[in-house]
Amino acid sequence: MRLSEDFITELKYRSDISDIASSYMQLKRRGRNLVGLCPFHGEKTPSFNIYAENGSFYCFGCGVGGDVITFIMKIENLDYMEAVKFLAQRAGMTVPDDAVDDSMSKLRTRVYEANREAARFYYSKLFAPEGKQALSYLRGRALSDKTITRFGLGYAPNNRFALTNHLKQKGFSDSELIAANLVFKSRSGNSVIDRFVDRVMFPIIDLRGNVIAFGGRIMSDQKPKYLNTSDTIVFNKSQNLFSLNNAKNSGTRRLILCEGYMDVIAVNQAGFTDAVATLGTSLTTEQAMLMKRYCDEIVICYDADEAGQKATQRAIGILRSTGLNVRVLAIPDGKDPDEFIRKNGEKGPAAFKVLLDNSGNDVEYRLYKLKKQFDLTTPQGRFAYLSQAVKVLATLDNAMEQDIYASKLAQEASVEKNSIMEQISKLSKAKYKNEKKTEFTKLQSEVSGRDDKMNPEHSKKPRATVAEQNLIAFLVNNPDKLSFIENYLKAEDFVTDFNRKLYLYFCQRIKDKKDPLNTLSADFTSDEVSSIIRIISKYSQLASTNDALLEYISVIKEESVKPTDSDIAKASDSELDAYLKKLKEKRK
């Protein structure tokens, strides 16, 4: 059964969206709304709005919107019932016993439990006789037993049924283990077998302490060297980070971004507990936004090989776009952090601290890498270097920062600073023009409706769609006008199915004397909720007079009888006359 309306109302009353959101991001007042940089995508100009009057939020940059429950679902990666429980616990409320979780929530809970039991199993096997080689491997990598225990490292036995049999004895079903990606079906399809076999195991733990996935490293030369859990209902590799659960409690507003599990663990053991790593994929915008919640500065500490340096260049752009300060730690002699710390023995932690303290910002790093490619003793080399360097400086949004590095470039290449600034200005103008072009294209797409996934009829019937959306926004904000609207308009007059569905939904909520927006997150998908809030959030831009309302109704009625091009092509003379007559009647 559903949660009661009274419970949801009380939960939202105690969970003010402005207070909740401000614990994750900085907000400033703009008129009646609060605005800030969106926590769901990288941006430099605030486009995230909170509408305190109706308890909703909407980002005009990425199109995400909803209520406080939706906000928690998005930012904490929870399903609906988990978000409700999260807010209820925060508000000191108890979710009613008769509120039954849906099947997906129950399955998520079982997946969490299976992962936790799997982590215990792998850990126990590491210290059992069959884990002797794996334990020797970890100790050979200079990891102490304390570190091994802290990270819950383990061993997956060289037996295709070891974990499967153990978890089945604990009461887990095949379908639950498959959902957790701990096992997969055999070729015959008659049984399930372990996904991880004869590997050192690294549990991946989320910010709430749940084991959500695993990484497994082979100890031989076989491929793949690392095997990771695929995406599941509790794990998305592009939205999580290894050891962020530890790093968030480091007491600093800095994170050290490493390339892999062993690097993170080695850096942690050396005393730097603010290290994290991506999970078998390149850095994503979602991961950058997640890190921004816990730090102001990122130190990129990738491997010094060619692949690591390419990954560094890519990561710089992603991290910069979120507004984070970026530094790059350069490890000498092509080593990775783990190898560098081990090779320096007892002096490893101190040597790493020196590298950390001396790491330059991302601009210095990019210019340094460029400088190594050219011979600055020749005019051609200096010109080639400057041509590339000004492209780097043109990406900077801070004029003072541009000025400082332009001065350095002028000195290095023995040229006038003004000539460098002129080139930067040209490139900056071109960049600005491209950004505006992209913005214009996006606006065009919104107006045309061609990217409206919720309402696929939008692009074919844009005039009707806009009128329908305006009327819905008007109705939600003026529920007392429902009787007035129903005197002129019927649900079947709506041209698009999605908007007709919304109109009927809100009409019923109003007739039942219920808050139109109170249970959106329970009654619609998160994408549908975002679309609805986008429609409602435009209300402040609309005329709220009866004349405006009548205009919306008039357009909808006109469009409801308008034939398509195909209809016209197939229609007889009498049918065309009938169309015209209907249209005239609708206008009255």
pLDDT digit string (tens) for 30-49?
988 999 999 998 888 899 99
Q: What pLDDT does 579 receive?
A: 61
Q: What pLDDT does 335 receive?
A: 81
**Which residues are CB-contacts of 57 (< 8 A; sequence separation ≥ 6)?**
17, 21, 48, 49, 50, 51, 65, 66, 67, 70, 71, 533
Does position 170 have pLDDT exceeding 90, yes or no? yes
Tokens of 583: 């249209």
Does position 332 have pLDDT exceeding 90, yes or no? no
- 280, 324 Cβ separation under 8 angstroms: no
Tokens of 440: 């214009």
Q: Say how many C-beta atoms besides its own lie within 10 A of residue 564's C-beta.
A: 10
Tokens of 413: 């290449």
Q: Which residue has the higher pLDDT, 295 or 580?
A: 295
Under DSSP, is residue 232 helix (H, G, I), strand (E, B) or coil?
coil
pTM of this structure: 0.81
Does position 545 have pLDDT exceeding 80, yes or no? yes
Measure CA of the first residue to CA of the last residue in the chain; give whole Å. Answer: 46
Does position 1 have pLDDT exceeding 70, yes or no? no
**Residue carrying structure tokens 């109706």:** 54
Under DSSP, is residue 337 helix (H, G, I), strand (E, B) or coil?
helix
Does position 533 have pLDDT exceeding 70, yes or no? yes
For residue 360, which phi and psi values (nearest 5 degrees)? -90, 170
Alpha-carbon distance 128 to 146, whole Å? 17
Q: What pLDDT does 260 receive?
A: 92
Q: What pLDDT does 193 receive?
A: 96
Alpha-carbon distance 504 to 199, whole Å? 56
Q: What is the DSSP letter of 333?
A: G
Q: How confident is the model at residue 202 (pLDDT cuts 50, 70, 90)?
A: very high
Does position 583 have pLDDT exceeding 80, yes or no? no
For residue 289, which phi and psi values (nearest 5 degrees)? -65, -35
Q: What is the dihedral of CA 249, 277, 265, 234, to 10 degrees?
A: 70
Tokens of 82: 């988990």
Q: What is the dihedral of CA 445, 451, 455, 460, to 10 degrees?
A: 60
Alpha-carbon distance 535 to 371, whole Å? 51
Q: How far is CA 475 from each of CA 4, 447, 511, rounded to the nearest angstrom? A: 24, 22, 12
**Which residues are CB-contacts of 306 (< 8 A; sequence separation ≥ 6)?**
none
* Residues across the chain: 588
Does position 152 have pLDDT exceeding 90, yes or no? yes
- 126, 135 Cβ separation under 8 angstroms: yes
Alpha-carbon distance 508 to 514, whole Å? 9
Q: What pLDDT does 573 receive?
A: 65
Taking alpha carbons only, the member of 275, 271, 276 closest to residue 348 is 271
Q: What pLDDT does 305 receive?
A: 84
Mean pLDDT of 581-587: 57
Q: What pLDDT does 546 receive?
A: 85
Mean pLDDT of 253-277: 96
- 125, 154 Cβ separation under 8 angstroms: yes
Strand order in the sheet with 56-59: 28-30, 33-36, 48-51, 56-59, 65-67
Does position 334 have pLDDT exceeding 80, yes or no? no
Q: What pLDDT does 555 receive?
A: 94
Domains and CATH numbers, the chain: 5-91 (3.90.580.10), 103-235 (3.90.980.10), 244-360 (3.40.1360.10), 373-442 (1.20.50), 462-587 (1.10.860.10)
Alpha-carbon distance 340 to 330, whole Å? 11
Condensed to tens digits (0 to 9), the pLDDT of residues 98-137 reads: 655 567 778 999 999 999 999 999 999 999 999 999 999 9
Q: How confident is the model at residue 298 (pLDDT cuts 50, 70, 90)?
A: very high
- 527, 453 Cβ separation under 8 angstroms: yes
- 254, 298 Cβ separation under 8 angstroms: yes
Condensed to tens digits (0 to 9), the pLDDT of residues 209-264 reads: 999 999 999 998 888 999 999 999 999 999 999 999 999 999 899 999 999 999 99
Q: How confident is the model at residue 204 (pLDDT cuts 50, 70, 90)?
A: very high
At position 165, the amino acid (one-letter code) is: N
Q: What pLDDT does 232 receive?
A: 95
DSSP string covering 6-43, please?
HHHHHHHHHS-HHHHHHTTS--EEETTEEEE--TTS--
Does position 15 have pLDDT exceeding 90, yes or no? yes
Q: Say how many C-beta atoms besides its own lie within 10 A of residue 284's C-beta.
A: 17
Is residue 144 packed enough to be buried (19+ CB in 10 Å), middle (13-18) or exposed (0-12)?
Answer: exposed
Condensed to tens digits (0 to 9), the pLDDT of residues 455-512 reads: 999 988 999 999 999 999 999 999 999 999 999 999 999 999 999 999 999 999 999 9
Average pLDDT, rounded, for the chain = 90
Q: How confident is the model at residue 569 (pLDDT cuts 50, 70, 90)?
A: low
Does position 565 have pLDDT exceeding 60, yes or no? no
